[in-house]
């Protein structure tokens, strides 16, 4: 079992605030780092797949960075909206896992108007 840690466990922000979460993962045998957004009663939605050290990816108001040497990734949300409320999961994919994903426990975000 590969140790993937996410912090904070939960976060409550006001609409318009910007926020960020952390995902830490093993720095050896890295293959890819995935970010998902999971709303209750829906399928986890793929946000980013990141493979290269120094990668930065952006999707609307959400962006992510990757540092494979030190084993961490940040997810940023700019100008949070109530519809951003969800659990954000990161998942580590190593070179031996056959494309299976090792997930953190997630960061639960609540954005209130």
Partner 1 sequence: SAVISQKPSRDICQRGTSLTIQCQVDSQVTMMFWYRQQPGQSLTLIATANQGSEATYESGFVIDKFPISRPNLTFSTLTVSNMSPEDSSIYLCSVGQGAGEQYFGPGTRLTVT
Number of residues binding to partner 1, judged by CB under 8 A: 23
26 binds partner 1 (CB under 8 A): no
What is the spatial distance between Cα 106 and Cα 93, in angstroms, rounded to a whole number?
16
What is the spatial distance between Cα 101 and Cα 104, in angstroms, rounded to a whole number?
10
Strands 102-103 and 86-94: antiparallel
Interface residue with partner 1 among 78, 85, 103, 108 (CB under 8 A) is 103
Strands 30-38 and 86-94: antiparallel
Question: Least distance in Å: CB of 46 to partner 1?
Answer: 5
61 binds partner 1 (CB under 8 A): no
Interface residue with partner 1 among 14, 60, 100, 113 (CB under 8 A) is 100
110 binds partner 1 (CB under 8 A): no
CA angle 56, 71, 80 (to 5 degrees): 45
**φ and ψ of 100, to 5 deg:** -75, 150
Which region, judged by CB under 8 A, interacts with partner 1, from 14-22, 63-71, 74-82, 93-101? 93-101
Contacts with partner 1, residue ranges (CB under 8 A): 1, 4, 31-32, 34, 36, 41-44, 46, 49, 89, 91, 98-106
């Amino acid at each position: 079992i590969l140790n993937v840690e996410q912090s904070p466990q939960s976060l409550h922000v006001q609409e318009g605030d910007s926020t960020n979460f952390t995902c830490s993962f093993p720095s050896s045998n890295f293959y890819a780092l995935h970010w998902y957004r999971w709303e209750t009663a829906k399928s986890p939605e793929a946000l980013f797949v990141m493979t290269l050290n120094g990668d930065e990816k952006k999707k609307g108001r959400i962006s992510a960075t990757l540092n494979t040497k030190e084993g961490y990734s940040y997810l940023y949300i700019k100008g949070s909206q109530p519809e951003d409320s969800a659990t954000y999961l990161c998942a580590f994919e190593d070179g031996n896992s056959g494309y299976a994903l090792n997930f953190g426990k997630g960061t639960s975000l609540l954005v209130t108007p």
